[in-house]
Amino acid sequence: MLSLADAELVDLSIGLEPGAASEPWPPDVEYFDHADGAQLLSENLQGLGYDVDAEDFPDGQGLAWEEVHAIPHTGTHLDAPWHYGAESGGEPARTIDEVPLEWCRGNAVVLDVRDIEPGAEITPDDIDARLDALDHDLSAGELVFLQTGADELWGEAAYLQQFPGMGAAATKHLVEQGVRVIGTDAYGFDKPFAEMGRRFADSGEDAELWPAHFAGREVEYCQIEKMANLDRLPRRTDVPVVCFPVSIEGASAGWVRPVAMFEPGTLADGGDELATDGGMRVGDGGGSR
């Protein structure tokens, strides 16, 4: 039985990175160092009527902190049904603070779709072919993650365009089998923006615009976008995962840090790197200043 006390961990997330070329709306992070912290905290205490100066703090150092301005769709995040529309399956769509935590933990199945061309639409047959290759039948409550390989492009503008996307039929195909959370290591769950725009311009059909997202108006599910490191998982099925989102009242999404957990020794031959590198290996990740 897996024990959380000694489980080996794989981080499947991308963090908030100021100025990232792979984010159309990158976060703005203002950093306050320890000297700044002493000044700000002393001013706060002075406002409460106490005579405290910055140099009164031990070594003149206060607490470091940051001020972040970012949309909840920046970095790895979980989209709530409310993101897709006001209703899901004829009921009011849930916001991120209403998503059951039970949906956000369980065993994951990783489907390798790296052979599908960027811009192509993933179909139910594509899903079934990969499940057959794994000799796996989905069970209600399992999570499904799509390995497109797009995370290899993190840090480049190409990340925004070079990936296949889910179609409405494929999305409903998974949800109707009891899957509540579907993830992708790509920028978006649907096809790239430019490809959807091209298809709409050619056909005039509104079904070409965000079809996988809008499938959530019919069937209730959540999606994780901008995952990473799926290629580092030692197996493709029965992957224990937790992916609890930050709760933001009434919001369409919440930042999430999915983590896969394995029995001790599972990550041998490279396990130390997997367990301790703190997420994205492309460009070293992690909040530059």
Confidence band, pLDDT 50/70/90 cuts, at residue 284? very low
pLDDT of residue 72: 98
Q: Which residues, including other chains, have CB under 8 Å from residue 277's CB and lie 6 or more apart? A: 11
Q: What does residue 66 show for φ and ψ, rounded to 5 degrees?
A: -135, 155
> pLDDT tens, 10-21?
999 999 999 999
Overall average pLDDT of the 120-141 stretch: 98
Question: What is the Cα–Cα distance from 276 to 9, expressed in whole angstroms?
Answer: 8
pTM as predicted? 0.90
The full length of the chain comes to: 289
Question: What is the Cα–Cα distance from 181 to 175, expressed in whole angstroms?
Answer: 8
Question: What is the Cα–Cα distance from 171 to 185, expressed in whole angstroms?
Answer: 16
- For residue 32, pLDDT over 70 is answered with yes
Helix (H) / strand (E) containing 199: helix 193-203
Q: Which residues, including other chains, have CB under 8 Å from residue 163's CB and lie 6 or more apart? A: 118, 148, 149, 150, 184, 186, 187, 188, 192
- For residue 189, pLDDT over 60 is answered with yes
Residue ranges of domains in the chain: 8-17+71-282, 28-68
> pLDDT tens, 56-113?
999 999 999 999 999 999 999 999 999 999 999 999 999 999 999 999 999 999 999 9
Gyration radius (Cα) of the chain, Å: 21
Could you tell me if 196 and 209 are in contact, meaning their C-beta atoms sit under 8 angstroms apart?
yes
Q: Which residues, including other chains, have CB under 8 Å from residue 264's CB and lie 6 or more apart? A: 6, 7, 8
pLDDT of residue 237: 98
Scored b (16 or more CB within 10 A) or e, 176-189 reads: eeebbbbbbbbbbb
pLDDT of residue 280: 39
> pLDDT tens, 219-264?
999 999 999 999 999 999 999 999 999 999 999 999 999 999 999 9
- Partnered with residue 59 across adjacent β-strands are none
- For residue 270, pLDDT over 50 is answered with no
Identify the architecture of domain 8-17+71-282 in CATH: 3-Layer(bba) Sandwich (3.50)
pLDDT of residue 269: 52
- For residue 271, pLDDT over 90 is answered with no
pLDDT of residue 4: 84
Q: What does residue 18 show for φ and ψ, rounded to 5 degrees?
A: -60, 135
Could you tell me if 34 and 12 are in contact, meaning their C-beta atoms sit under 8 angstroms apart?
no
